Amino acid sequence: MSAVDRRVVIRCLAATGGALLMRASLEAEGALATGAPSRTAASAAEATRAAGSDPLPPEDALFDAYLRIAQDGATSIVVPAAELGQGVYTSLPMLVAEELDADWERVTVRLAAADPAFGNPARRGVQVTGGSDSVAGYHEMLRRLGASAREALVRVAAQDWGVTPAECRTERSAVHHAPSGRQLDYGRLAARAARLEPAQHPVLKSPRQFVLLGSRQRRKDTPPKCDGSARFGADLRLPGTLFGAVALAPIPGSTLASFDREAALRRRGVHALVEVDDGLGAVADDTWAAEQALRAAAPRFLAPAGRGESSARIAAALRVALDSPGVVADGAQGDPEAVLRRGTVALDAVYEVPLVAHACMEPMAATARVADGRCEVWAPSQRQGAAREAAAQACGLTVERVTLQGTFCGGGFGRKWEVDFVRHAVQLAAAVPGRPVAMTWSREADLRGDFFRAPFACRVRGALAADGGLAALHARIAGPSLLAFQRRPIAGADPSAAGNLILPQYAIGARRTEFVQRPIAQRIGFWRAVSLSQNGFFGESAIDELAHAAGEDGLAFRRRLLAHDARALAVLDRVAAAADWSTPLPRGRGRGVAFSTGFGSYHAQVAQVRLDGDLVRIERVTCVHDCGFAIDPDTVVAQMQGGIIFGLGALVQSVEVADGAAVPANFDAFPVPRLPQVPRIDVHLLDSGAPPGGVGEAGTAAILPAVANAVFAASGRRIRRLPIGLEGLELG
């Protein structure tokens, strides 16, 4: 955080109507690396008014400000990150409110528009939500923002009373002077406080002084999500709204060869038929009419030559690729090949995972309006800035003439990192100028047109040391490069494919990971836990097999490899105690452990399973997570539970490809865990004193190997291929 500290400058903006408006700007060293010019208060207010739902009054709607205190003392805080269900709608405002000493019950929260002012310091000032770094990235900046505002308010109150600021204290949105018993509400001080030069180095609270942070608070998004007032991407309805749908090419890279425009436009309520990226779109009075118009149009697509791949061919090609040398990933040490040649190979195994979809409960959806040389977009995007740029390109306008307002996301998991659906909404809206178009993909389009988690095959070989540790571990993983697919520069092995396959915390004599790049024709994208979504399964399954070869249980073997890491040992010891690891289980039951690090956190899980023939019943999952200080413990627990359930889906899910096209059409062909399949999940949090780390993705990374290792403990059967149906198993 030291590099961020040097760049954090708190600035006050002049306020109107008695409101205090402040923002934290990142300046030196190119922190706002977007290249976009700073926006004025007036243009930000215009963007917010255009953004639609429940806009603030014009004089208060300055969306380049994080914080607003109105004349009545109410506090409004803008959330710069996308709310995907991970809780930033509460946890990020808590950071400001804690240092501000704001009355939490009087704090209102708003989602940000796309604007460089809301860039994440951890992403060099780019406004994105991913990699579990929202709290870690914004933590210091938002706390300083709240503390600076608090000190300005105290200075004004002290001046009014003719006392020193040191004699004053703040509590529940008021400044108090204990000796005289006087107090002033923030609303009466805000206008003058806004004009003061802000403190460059405000004093932050110590953890002992926290009132909100570290304790459970009612989430700010719970009431609107319960009463239906929360607006997700598919919810927005503006006056005069039309509705859009798309039909996508079944095979990536196909071109639209023909369609029956007249047949589509003859249908009642249809306004336009539009060629969109990778498909055909329709605009109508309702979504059903738009979808029926596309059926009537009967679009025909011409697939490029050589795109007739299948799941079986993809898997076979990846297995063959394991015989080729690959690019060595970061973290290699020693010569594991030489050790393996000299010693006894304790493990030589191949693991495989398939294409997997994101399957957000809210399919791709966005609303757009194009009129009078401007474009307005409302979208559940994980990359607001990139989505805004994509919208500008889609309608041929400059970025400055486009506004994009974030909405609640009905799931993201990396899928809403992509901007294809935003482009579609804008392309449809451009065909009916002046009318807002609410576009929602069908579930079939959503599953078939996904940017899938890539398939991989991985061969792991290991040799034990004389002392029972690991002398050598060599892993070679084959699959497509996500960075290459995204046309991004790659130096060495793609970390999204090969990263964290061999965890750096493990003490291993010699180690090496190689990546063999094998492109596929399907679209691929980020998936929850990124490289750990496959490499957690590969690496922790291999560690468990090596523990068995060493004659040691999985947890004791990991403790041996992590004996030098106190933080890791604390996590393992806590999960062992909480899961009753040493208590014997009846025949047919077993426990499996998995350890994981990433996103600045340490994590371990123990899964307990029962086997009824070929039916795997997961009875209990015990999870220990150390993300340093937990801003909102209840949100961390919820994220562990959600991540584990999301990961359980990958036990049974795969996207089958036939003749070049993704097959699944709906949830009947792409199962998600149902309530009877969800086990008891016990979550325990540890605070190692480390800086805040990530939360949203750790649970997903560890559940697959924990279950696979538990199945072995219960039955002696190893799961090396997913979905478990390939191993003759089902999820009960």
Q: Which has the closest alpha carbon to 51: 425, 419, 406?
A: 406
CA distances from 293 to 255, 273, 289, 426, 429 (A): 20, 8, 6, 19, 16
- As beta bridge partners, residue 511 has 333, 473
Instruction: Compute the average pLDDT of residues 661-674.
Output: 91
Backbone angles phi, psi at 316, to 5 degrees: -65, -40
Contact 626, 280 (CB under 8 A): no
Instruction: Compute the average pLDDT of residues 716-724.
Output: 98
Contact 86, 165 (CB under 8 A): no
DSSP annotation string for 449-482: T--BBPPEEEEEEEEE-TTSSEEEEEEEEEE--H
Neighbours of 681 (CB within 10 A): 21
What are the structure tokens assigned to 180, written together? Answer: 């005289």
| Pairing label, strands 242-248, 279-284 | antiparallel
Contact 194, 12 (CB under 8 A): yes
Contact 187, 73 (CB under 8 A): yes
CATH, domain range 2-205: 3.30.365.10
Contact 442, 247 (CB under 8 A): no
| Strands in 149-298 per DSSP E | 168-170, 174-177, 182-185, 242-248, 255-258, 270-276, 279-284
Backbone angles phi, psi at 164, to 5 degrees: -90, 150
pLDDT at 287 over 80: yes
Cis peptide before 489 (omega within 30 of 0): no
Q: What is the pLDDT of residues 354-412, one digit of tens each?
A: 999 999 999 999 999 999 999 999 999 999 999 999 999 999 999 999 999 999 999 99
CATH, domain range 312-355+452-731: 3.30.365.10
Q: What is the pLDDT of residues 14-60, one digit of tens each?
A: 222 334 443 333 222 222 222 222 333 334 444 444 444 455 543 33
Residue 379 is inside which H or E element, if any? strand 374-379
Q: 316 Cβ partners below 8 Å, 6+ apart?
A: none
Where is pLDDT greater, at 45 or 441? 441
pLDDT for 192 equals: 86
CATH, domain range 242-293+364-440: 3.30.365.10
pLDDT for 19 equals: 40
pLDDT at 61 over 60: no
pLDDT at 623 over 70: yes
pLDDT at 286 over 90: yes
DSSP state for residue 729 in the 8-state scheme: -
Where in the chain are the domains? 2-205, 242-293+364-440, 312-355+452-731
What are the structure tokens assigned to 442, written together? Answer: 């069908």
pLDDT at 524 over 70: yes
pLDDT for 65 equals: 64
Residue whose pair of structure tokens reads 């009916």 in the numeric block: 432
Instruction: Compute the average pLDDT of residues 259-263.
Output: 98
Q: What value does the mean pLDDT of the chain take?
A: 91
Residue 561's pLDDT band, with cuts at 50, 70 and 90, is very high
Residue 307's pLDDT band, with cuts at 50, 70 and 90, is confident
Backbone angles phi, psi at 698, to 5 degrees: -65, -40
Q: How far apart are CA 194 and CA 68, in angstroms?
A: 10
Angle between helices 633-649 and 698-715 (to 10 degrees): 50
Poorest-pLDDT segment among 5-14, 185-194, 233-242, 631-640 = 5-14
Q: How far apart are CA 547 and CA 12, in angstroms?
A: 58
Q: What is the pLDDT of residues 96-126, one digit of tens each?
A: 999 999 999 999 999 999 999 999 999 999 9
pLDDT for 191 equals: 83
Q: What is the pLDDT of residues 132-143, one digit of tens each?
A: 999 999 999 999
pLDDT for 41 equals: 37
Q: How far apart are CA 509 and CA 469, in angstroms?
A: 9
What are the structure tokens assigned to 169, written together? Answer: 């204290």
Q: How far apart are CA 323 and CA 709, in angstroms?
A: 27
Q: Which has the closest alpha carbon to 606: 588, 586, 580, 587?
A: 580
Contact 594, 538 (CB under 8 A): no
**Could you tell me what percent of the chain has a pLDDT over 90?**
87
Contact 326, 477 (CB under 8 A): yes
Residue 62's pLDDT band, with cuts at 50, 70 and 90, is very low
Q: Tell me if 2-205 shares its fold with 312-355+452-731.
A: yes
Q: How far apart are CA 553 and CA 576, in angstroms?
A: 12
Instruction: Compute the average pLDDT of residues 626-647.
Output: 97
What are the structure tokens assigned to 160, written together? Answer: 């009014």
Q: How far apart are CA 65 and CA 14, in angstroms?
A: 11
Residue 3's pLDDT band, with cuts at 50, 70 and 90, is very low
pLDDT for 56 equals: 52
- As beta bridge partners, residue 612 has 615
Neighbours of 332 (CB within 10 A): 16
